[in-house]
Amino acid sequence: MGLVSALCVTQTIANEPYQASERAIRIAQENLLIDTHIDVPYRLNDDWEDVTVATERGDFDYPRAVAGGLNVPFMSIYIPAQLEQTPGASKQLAHQLIDGMEALAYRAPHKFALAASPDQVVQQQQRGVISIALGMENGSPIEGDLNNLYTFYNRGIRYITLAHSLSNHISDSSYDIRKQWGGLSPFGKTLVAEMNKLGVMVDISHVSDDAFWQVLEISKVPVIASHSSLRRYTPGFERNMSDEMIKGLADNGGIIMINFGSSFVTQQANRYRAMLKRKADAIIEQYGEESAEAKQALAEMEAKNPYPFATLDQVLDHIDHVVDLVGIDYVGIGSDYDGVGDSLPVGLKDVSTYPNLVEGLLQRNYSEADIKKILGQNFMRVWREVEEYAAKH
């Protein structure tokens, strides 16, 4: 492995300066708290641990979820984009990851239960069980066949992120410069309409701007951005949403769920890896890739450029801006825990820290009624509207 590919991020994590008040803890514990994007299934597929008890690794386990007040983690059935190149591979992995979540609920029924509707979420909250809901991150397992959509709906999938890091047979990706479809593919347009009829939420995180606007033209129900933040704070980062897109989402009745990953939150973190690579390339060009001088210079460069973690306050800035732009009814939480590696902000390092977010909202003079909307009521409103439309169609 060359020095550039082996280069790792040096992370100096500051002492957590946030301390939630009893009031913040109470609000998190007593009210419905939904996080629409947690990558536990793929984490366990890659590195299994028993998350029904405290774990050494990762951002989620049962004790920490309870401590944070988390009621509904939408577990991401994440499918790597490159699997679409192998027929059947995406669908196979999706079923395996869903199997894992079913097994988790089966092994600890006093702690977890699967949830496929808002009513189930409420019932399970009342009996003190964490609801495992399912969202598919990357629609490649649909494989151009609506029968697969129906199969995954029957297995509990309640939202689909249309694409991921590469364009697929459904949609262009925000990360893919090819933009092969100019937005949605013909099948993608059919799929969005069918998802509306079936009751599967359309997730526009990861798709290109053109695909986003085409989804809004087609969808008869509110759509979601399950784990996105604001382009205002990360200029040029298409993966995040522009002010114009957020206004369009609100006009649609939809909701943006704020991603906690530092690279989604601040420009400095967003550009960190590119900056580090430029410095590393210059060092290697000067000394040669495998030289002792290059190794020493790279180590010194990393030590002098620690990863610029975002802060809880900067995450709150994203929430504030959505509220100022379109109102309190169109924002929620889509942390991307277990999906953004070690890049989480100071104050929001795992699922036990939602009370810190609540404390920050209180300090910014949000009412308890508004905080309840951000924690879960806004998303439940969208989910119910999607269900109600499907019941009629």
Q: Tell me how far apart the alpha carbons of residues 388 and 292 are, in angstroms, rounded to a whole number.
A: 65
Contact (CB, 8 A) for 371 and 178: no
User: pLDDT digit string (tens) for 214-231?
Assistant: 999 999 999 999 999 999
Fill in the DSSP letter of residue 335.
Answer: -
3-state class of 313 per DSSP? helix
When pLDDT is averaged across residues 122-128 and rounded to a whole number, the result is 97
Burial class of residue 295, CB neighbours in 10 A (0-12, 13-18, 19+): middle
CATH topology of domain 20-266+309-392: TIM Barrel (3.20.20)
Fill in the DSSP letter of residue 81.
Answer: G
3-state class of 241 per DSSP? strand
Token pair in block for residue 232: 């205002």
Indicate the domain borders of the chain: 20-266+309-392, 267-307
pLDDT at 295 > cutoff 90: no
User: pLDDT digit string (tens) for 270-293?
Assistant: 998 778 778 877 888 888 878 888
CA 322, distance to chain mean position in Å, is 17
Phi, psi at 321, each rounded to 5° = -65, -40
Of 123, 117, 209, give the one whose Cα is nearest residue 159.
117
Q: What average pLDDT is seen over the chain?
A: 93
Q: Tell me how far apart the alpha carbons of residues 229 and 22 are, in angstroms, rounded to a whole number.
A: 28
Instruction: Compute and round to an integer the Cα radius of gyration of the chain.
Output: 21
CA 360, distance to chain mean position in Å, is 21
User: pLDDT digit string (tens) for 299-348?
Assistant: 888 788 889 999 999 999 999 999 999 999 999 999 999 999 999 999 99
No. of H helices and E strands in the chain? 18, 9
